[in-house]
Amino acid sequence: MNRPGIREKAQRHLFPHFTRGAVWRSPELPVITGAEGCYLYDDRGRRFLDGLSGLFCVNLGHGRTDIAAAATKQMESLSYWTNWSAAHPASAEAAAVIAELAPGDLDTVFFVNSGSEAVESAVKFARQYHRSQGQPQRTKIIARDMAYHGTTLGALAVTGIDKYKEPFGPLMPGVRHVPNTLGAVTDEGGSAADLPCVEAIVAAIEEEGPETVAALVAEPVQNARGALVPPEGYWRQLRRICDRYGILLVADEVICAYGRLGAWFGSEKYGVVPDLITFAKGATSGYAPLGGVLLRGGLATALLDSPLAGTFTHGATWGGHPVSTAVAVANLSAVRDEDVIGNVRRLEPMFQQGLTGIAEAHDCVAEWRGTGFFYAVEFTGSRSTGRPLTDVESAEILQRVIPRAMTGAGLITRPDDRGATMLMLSPPLVADAGVIDELLHQVDTVAGAVDDYLRTR
């Protein structure tokens, strides 16, 4: 009797994440069996460029033996301990390294296991912090339309994408969504305070009652809706608004932190010290699960010293796991010592020039957006005539045209339907000029396939 292969075992026993049933049951279901540097290998011997760094996380690339060695060494000395009423060297060292890299006085780290848990923890901290300071009515959260902040129920409530939320309602009440920065531009000589998307935040806070709002949550560059780079002065306005109303400013940097934007933190890039930063993904380059919240030290101390609290009533069995935190130290040390962030800055102009050339060459490309090694290419029916894609065309492009073109070109990345028809690009931060050039040629091939499809309609 033939024993089932990996594909068959997965299809029979493994329940997929965010994957349509027809894709999961397909005989063409990808099975990735190996990886090295910026490339992935499947069970049929094919090589693919990893155009999304896994899921925006493999910043240092695949196959690093030094990081594997750090994990092995930690397992041999202390494979597990908790941060509940105790500490251990790996988590203490990781917290110190992360705090040293952070902007301003963000010097205290609360570890969890993922980005969703990090956002969940930030929301819980914001609520309990205000309660500890005698303001228990401050429970509401302001977040942005189309923003993705995670899948746990609290983080999902903060998320601004209805189709992700609808199957699981009712969710946590008290979340108000405001416009994101799509299309927002600060006029020369003008102020970001006059932008409609900023004015909408102030209006929402006033309508809800400033004394009831706990936190404002936003990504430095918003992922969902396609790498939305903030206009000049936007983040400084967020800081001023939060200071004015006594609201905690939370920068969700699960994607943006650790070099993705060409800086250690997106907050640093945009000249702001938030009150909390959520992180995950690039903290370990995906070699082990780890997430966390960076807090301004004074806030953490105020909660712990408060007679109304004394304890942050939250934790997780695996939070600050010795192996994951040892991996984080090895990963972040390599990012620093190998000038990986400098590599992003040096190649950013080449990346952007290449995307501009692709947009100019293909009438199906509406525009590209992004910064650092984080981009979205948005498609349209015809840029020259202004014709949008129909729903049928969008579905066909996302589900058939782009996937087939990517497979043929040797590329794995993410077709994205959150608010538009897009292709996300987020290669490992160690990608050199040759890898970026290869990626651009692959994207050009994909855009050409979309053009060809639209010409036959």
Per-residue pLDDT tens digits for 335-349: 999 999 999 999 999
Stated as kind and residue range, the H or E segment containing 33 is strand 32-36
Question: Percent of the chain beyond pLDDT 90?
Answer: 98
Does residue 425 share a domain with residue 315?
no
Strands 39-42 and 32-36: antiparallel
Does residue 219 share a domain with residue 134?
yes
Per-residue model confidence (pLDDT) at position 104: 97
Does residue 154 share a domain with residue 144?
yes
Structural domain harbouring 178: 66-337
Q: Residues 385-404: what's their mean pLDDT?
A: 97
Q: Given 337, 365, 389, which residue is the final one in a domain?
A: 337
Per-residue model confidence (pLDDT) at position 443: 98
Does residue 441 share a domain with residue 327?
no
The answer to whether residue 263 sits within a structural domain is: yes
**Residue type for position 269:** K
Per-residue model confidence (pLDDT) at position 1: 47
Does residue 368 share a domain with residue 282?
no
Does residue 378 share a domain with residue 246?
no
The answer to whether residue 12 sits within a structural domain is: no
Does residue 320 share a domain with residue 432?
no
The answer to whether residue 184 sits within a structural domain is: yes
Average pLDDT, the chain: 97
Per-residue model confidence (pLDDT) at position 320: 97
pTM of model > 0.75: yes
The answer to whether residue 133 sits within a structural domain is: yes
Per-residue model confidence (pLDDT) at position 329: 98
Q: Residues 1-20: what's their mean pLDDT?
A: 89
CATH code for position 364? 3.90.1150.10
Question: How confident is residue 457, by pLDDT bands cut at 50, 70 and 90?
Answer: confident
DSSP string of 132-145? HTT-TT--EEEEET
Q: Given 305, 337, 369, which residue is the final one in a domain?
A: 337
Whether the per-residue pLDDT at 77 is higher than 70: the answer is yes
Question: How confident is residue 4, by pLDDT bands cut at 50, 70 and 90?
Answer: confident
Does residue 411 share a domain with residue 312?
no
Q: Would you give the distance in Å from CA 60 to the centre of its chain?
A: 16
Does residue 193 share a domain with residue 89?
yes
The answer to whether residue 1 sits within a structural domain is: no
Whether the per-residue pLDDT at 134 is higher than 80: the answer is yes
The answer to whether residue 431 sits within a structural domain is: yes
What backbone phi and psi angles, to 5 degrees, belong to 110? -110, 115
- In which residue are the tokens 């049929």 written? 44
Q: Are 288 and 255 in contact, with CB atoms under 8 Å apart?
A: no
Per-residue model confidence (pLDDT) at position 198: 98
Output the CA torsion sign for 25, 26, 27, 33: negative
Q: Are 165 and 179 in contact, with CB atoms under 8 Å apart?
A: no
* Structural domain count of the chain: 2
What backbone phi and psi angles, to 5 degrees, belong to 308? -90, -5
The answer to whether residue 2 sits within a structural domain is: no
Nearest-angstrom CA–CA distance, 455 and 449: 10
